[in-house]
């Protein structure tokens, strides 16, 4: 498997990779902070009030929470990519 351009760029720019990894880590933490409690509260509201809760904004909030979770996973994947590149740089340093 050949690395893509982003992977090659990150390999060539170690400091930028570290900064990006730090930003992805902070973004993941910020996005996932209290996400479980909010999803649980939204599900409880919908379970308790049914259709009225969905029409009153529960469905929109559920969609927003889903998009927040997707963005958090994307930030986590960015962190893991940078982590992999930096570990490879350290392990195979020439």
Question: Each residue of 58-83: pLDDT tens digit?
Answer: 899 999 999 999 999 999 999 999 99
Can you give the pTM of this predicted structure?
A: 0.84
Count Cβ atoms within 10 A of the Cβ of residue 32 and give its class: 0-12 exposed, 13-18 middle, 19 or more buried: middle
- State the pLDDT at residue 54: 87
- Would you state the pLDDT for residue 93? 77
Count: domains in the chain: 1
Residue 37's domain comprises 5-91
Look at residue 20 in the predicted model and tell me its pLDDT: 97
- The string of pLDDT tens digits covering residues 17-67 is 999 999 999 999 999 998 999 999 999 999 999 888 888 888 999 999 999
């Amino acid at each position: 498997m050949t690395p893509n351009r982003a992977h090659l760029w990150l390999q060539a720019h170690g400091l930028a990779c570290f900064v990006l990894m730090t930003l992805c880590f902070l973004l993941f933490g910020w996005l996932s902070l209290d996400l479980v409690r909010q999803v649980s509260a939204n599900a409880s509201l919908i379970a308790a009030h049914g259709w009225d809760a969905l029409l009153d904004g529960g469905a929109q909030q559920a969609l927003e929470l889903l998009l927040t979770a997707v963005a958090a996973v994307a930030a986590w994947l960015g962190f893991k990519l940078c982590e992999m590149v930096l570990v490879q740089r350290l392990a195979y340093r020439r």
